[in-house]
Structure 1
Amino acid sequence: MEQKQERKDGIGEEMPIKVGKVKVKGAKATKSSLIVPEVKSILGSTTQKELFENLKAAHTHLHAYGIFDSVSSQVDAMDDVDALEVLLSLREKKRHTVHVGMEAGANEVLTNISAQMINVLGGGEPIKINACIGHSRSSSYDITFLKPFSHQVAQYNFFSSLYRRTTNHFASVHTDLTTGTTMGFKVPTRLGQYSCGLSFDCRNITDLRPDTPLPIRLHAGYGTKTSFQHSLELNLTDSPAFPSKGVRCRLSQEVATLDSFNEGKRFFKTDGDVQVNSRVPFTPLVFSSSLQAGGIFSNMERIPISDLFFLGGPQSIRGYRLRGVGPRAGNASLGGTAFVAAGAHLFSPLPYISSDRFRLHLFATGGSLLSETPSRHSPLSRTARLFQREFAWSYGVGLAVNVGVGRIEFNYCFPRPGEVQSSPLQGLHVGLGINFL
């Protein structure tokens, strides 16, 4: 009896049908080229099961463009012929939006003003205009155009941006003014979100003070950079602020030419990070570990300071001033061309408080920043000694607060700089951001 029932259900799912007509309602500003592929797949349905699968796929594909508030469908029998009629109802989103809010920057709060126009050309294209203004003379302005180029998966995007950024690097006693443009592709893969792009930047190192050291003054003035970048990012965590499980990893690489393709002024830059989160068995505790590393490879005598790596600060190695680990000249951080950093964290719910917004935080972080990248021919033991000699670390305890897209950390830190050139600062540190070491 059970076998007969299964066969009967199977016949129902595979029952032959014919779709005679598909009506689309509500596509006022959307081009037919976006909808026709979905209509064709629905018209091609030959069984009841296939019809419902194609309808589900059409809903998913159209929602992925981000231009519809709702997508629904209705199936009825046609009066004059033995066929089905499908009504595809679309409700388009408001085409213009403006948002004013706060955003977490490099350990500072930025005022964010953004405007977006969606479905500009009728093919799901948004134009985004964004302005971020910080309290320390840091600001950025950019306009970005995105074009979906696959009707099957709308996340395949072509992007093009114009931007202008002003960043006050007080820890390195200068301001970086960058104006540029970039274009490229963003493609989802099984390994994560892949993006690649070509950029052209015009940069100016300015606002030097009387106490700006000579090594930074050598970078002053205008310069140009043409670069090709690509990156791969995979995020399998269950929360952006307090992940309790999952892995997040990122790998990015850049090939750059400086000052109008002058011979020899080229470098290759690569960096990546990985974070692993897991619950401690039989406890409410969460253990998180992270590792970051990067290097710049070039025959150039001096890499521009805007492209160097920096370590230290509330989002990096705790217990040090911002950019407080690594080579220094006076009170200014000089940056480096190779680094490695790691962190271990233990998060616990607050006792007697049921809110998920707060966590007790025990941590240890450390790393090394080198002024010169070790040669690929250098013995591994010598490279390890270089990083060991420049190693600085810290430990501490604090309170972490979930603020939605990121978190705030209030940590009391105990730095252990050893013999490294650094700027330790024992005491209370406040960190605000999304990605922490």
Structure 2
Amino acid sequence: MDSNDFTGYSSREIFREAMRQEEPADIGMLSAKVGGLSVKGLTRLRNGVITKLVYPMLTAKTLREVADESRELAGKLQALGIAKEAHVVLDELHSDGKGQLVNVKLLCKPMSRYIIRTEAGVDDNEGTAGVSGRLLNIFGGGETFDMNYLRGSKTQAAFQGTFSVPVDADPLKTLSITGVQRMVSNRPYSSHDEMLRSLVFDYQARDILLRSIHNVGYSLSWRNICNLGATASQALRTEAGHSLKSSVTYQATLDTRDSPRLPTSGSLIKVLAEAAGLDGIGDTRFVKSQIQLQTNQDLGGGYLVSTGVQGGLMWNLDRGKRSRLADRFFLGGSTSIRGFEYHGIGPRDGNDSIGGDLYYAAGVSLLTPLPFVTTDSLKGHVWANAGQLALLDARGLLRRSGEIHRFLMSPSAAVGVGIVYNHSVVRAEFSLCLPVIATATDRPKAGPQLGFGITFL
């Protein structure tokens, strides 16, 4: 059987039944139901899971419905990680006087029980390397356990383990628990390291037709601002030490782009909401929201235009206190607002970037064909970026009216030209940058700038 043919009709009775009709008939509309089911090749499949998976097929009333539901069953077995390959054969049809009884056979190749691999990547201008492993179909219902260990140019060490369970045998709905421990060096933009230990519970629901993802989660995070440098500012010294955050999050993503790295069409809408400390656990209380929008259009002739807007607000609920450094927004860099150093926009104390509670950013990019270049993976790039970041005071306000005007009407901005290379795993940019507006606390970066990552403004 051809591996691309999920369903084979091996019974001549189908055609004989059609020939008995006085007028041509759609074979798929013949009355039929499942008379038997056999699954071959799988050694690990729980009875409760297969019962839920086959129920829609058992309610089919026509030959077409039987075939469609059989293909759906084969696809779910693969999506759940239970079967590496799954093919369906419909045969041995018999009539019970009310229609055809169809025998369904699933010919499967089981998925490997584990995967171990080394990996290297680049994201947000950081190179990482490490090892990862995955255990698949642990209890016969598509359960997985993922582990990875990474080191990078900023990440000194990171370990993560995630156990995921499909909900109601549906590969589009998963419940997971994740444990994370990560030590990150925030130098040179801020003279400290940060240790993060988190336990995260997450429910995810995906809609393939709408291309949307919804996540609802709870996390308990223990943070430690540590290893302060000799020149660390007073703001960092005040923040140094341990803090505990208990938060509930919701994230909705609608992504119709044809590529996350260099899209030629489609749009992205991502909304994130977080509430921390409302359950009385932890020493930080806030509500936080972010939104990200991107549109992409093919102008023809190899020209593409991309526009992006994003913004965020964090409102501290502990009156008389400022937000914590570990929870704030940061802005600037080759994957954010180009033409500025990494985290080089917004409030600073001495040489340390201390982030903010309120920000916005916008960018437009024109990607062009290059002379003597035939591949679409390499493009010319003309861009303009702008944005601003502000830190609220202990009352949750900008301190002076002049700051409000500066925040709204005087964004930091830069323009530039360069080239973009779309690799299969990462997008790389080389730009010649010209900062045109910068505040006294910004760190503009004129001239050449390299950027590596997946998501760019």
TM-score strictly above 0.5: yes
Contact map agreement 1:258 1:266 (CA 8 A) in 2: yes
1:249/1:11 Cα in 2 relative to 1: closer, same or farther (>3 Å)?
Answer: closer
Contact map agreement 1:179 1:201 (CA 8 A) in 2: yes
Query: Residue 82 of structure 2 corresponds to which residue in structure 1?
Result: 67
Query: What is the rounded CA distance, in whole Å, between the counterparts of 2:50 and 2:254 in structure 1?
Result: 30
Shift of 1:319: 1.0
Query: What is the rounded CA distance, in whole Å, between the counterparts of 2:423 and 2:65 in structure 1?
Result: 44
Query: Residue 177 of structure 1 corresponds to which residue in structure 2?
Result: 195
Give runs of aligned pairs for residues 2-401 of structure 1, distance below 5 A: 8-10=23-25, 12-77=27-92, 83-151=101-169, 153-170=170-187, 171-189=189-207, 190=210, 192-257=212-277, 261=281, 265-280=284-299, 282-300=300-318, 301-372=321-392, 385-388=405-408, 390-401=410-421
Contact map agreement 1:401 1:407 (CA 8 A) in 2: yes
User: Which AA in structure 1 matches 2:161?
Assistant: I
Shift of 1:125: 0.3
Contact map agreement 1:249 1:275 (CA 8 A) in 2: yes
SS class of match (1:255): strand
User: Which AA in structure 2 matches 1:41?
Assistant: P
Unaligned runs of 5+ in 2: 1-20
1:400/1:262 Cα in 2 relative to 1: closer, same or farther (>3 Å)?
Answer: closer
1:85/1:319 Cα in 2 relative to 1: closer, same or farther (>3 Å)?
Answer: same
Shift of 1:258: 9.1
Query: What is the rounded CA distance, in whole Å, between the counterparts of 1:74 and 1:119 in structure 2?
Result: 24
Query: What is the rounded CA distance, in whole Å, between the counterparts of 2:201 and 2:34 in structure 1?
Result: 42
Query: Residue 451 of structure 2 corresponds to which residue in structure 1?
Result: 431
User: Which AA in structure 2 matches 1:56?
Assistant: R
Select between 154-163 and 387-396 the one with higher mean Cα deviation: 387-396
User: Which AA in structure 2 matches 1:164?
Assistant: Q
Contact map agreement 2:287 2:317 (CA 8 A) in 1: no
Query: What is the rounded CA distance, in whole Å, between the counterparts of 1:191 and 1:50 in structure 2?
Result: 25
SS class of match (1:321): coil
Contact map agreement 1:225 1:260 (CA 8 A) in 2: no
Shift of 1:59: 2.1
1:47/1:419 Cα in 2 relative to 1: closer, same or farther (>3 Å)?
Answer: closer
Query: What is the rounded CA distance, in whole Å, between the counterparts of 2:157 and 2:89 in structure 1?
Result: 50
Contact map agreement 2:148 2:161 (CA 8 A) in 1: yes
Shift of 1:375: 8.8
User: Which AA in structure 1 matches 2:267?
Assistant: V
Spell out, residue by residue over 1:250-280, the C-alpha distance to the aligned partner (whole angstroms, 9 max, x if none).
11111112996378x4100111111100012
Query: What is the rounded CA distance, in whole Å, between the counterparts of 1:222 and 1:397 in structure 2?
Result: 43
Query: Residue 430 of structure 2 corresponds to which residue in structure 1?
Result: 410
Spell out, residue by residue over 1:48-99, the C-alpha distance to the aligned partner (whole angstroms, 9 max, x if none).
2221122122123222213321111112226898733221112111111012
1:80/1:371 Cα in 2 relative to 1: closer, same or farther (>3 Å)?
Answer: closer
Query: What is the rounded CA distance, in whole Å, between the counterparts of 1:299 and 1:220 in structure 2?
Result: 21
1:9/1:332 Cα in 2 relative to 1: closer, same or farther (>3 Å)?
Answer: farther
Query: What is the rounded CA distance, in whole Å, between the counterparts of 2:160 and 2:91 in structure 1?
Result: 48
Query: What is the rounded CA distance, in whole Å, between the counterparts of 2:222 and 2:22 in structure 1?
Result: 69
1:385/1:10 Cα in 2 relative to 1: closer, same or farther (>3 Å)?
Answer: farther
SS class of match (2:182): strand
Shift of 1:247: 0.1
Identity, % of aligned positions:
27
Spell out, residue by residue over 1:149-188, the C-alpha distance to the aligned partner (whole angstroms, 9 max, x if none).
133x312000001110111111111111011211120012
Shift of 1:15: 1.8
Query: What is the rounded CA distance, in whole Å, between the counterparts of 2:362 and 2:194 in structure 1?
Result: 28
Query: Residue 5 of structure 2 corresponds to which residue in structure 1?
Result: none
1:374/1:62 Cα in 2 relative to 1: closer, same or farther (>3 Å)?
Answer: farther
1:10/1:38 Cα in 2 relative to 1: closer, same or farther (>3 Å)?
Answer: farther
Spell out, residue by residue over 1:391-430, the C-alpha distance to the aligned partner (whole angstroms, 9 max, x if none).
1000001111112133011111011234442011111111
SS class of match (1:368): strand
Query: Residue 3 of structure 1 corresponds to which residue in structure 2?
Result: none
Contact map agreement 1:369 1:390 (CA 8 A) in 2: no
Query: What is the rounded CA distance, in whole Å, between the counterparts of 1:405 and 1:80 in structure 2?
Result: 54
Shift of 1:11: 5.1
Spell out, residue by residue over 1:169-225, the C-alpha distance to the aligned partner (whole angstroms, 9 max, x if none).
111111110112111200124471000111111111001011111011110001111
Unaligned runs of 5+ in 1: 1-5
Query: What is the rounded CA distance, in whole Å, between the counterparts of 2:36 and 2:438 in structure 1?
Result: 76
Query: What is the rounded CA distance, in whole Å, between the counterparts of 2:22 and 2:296 in structure 1?
Result: 46
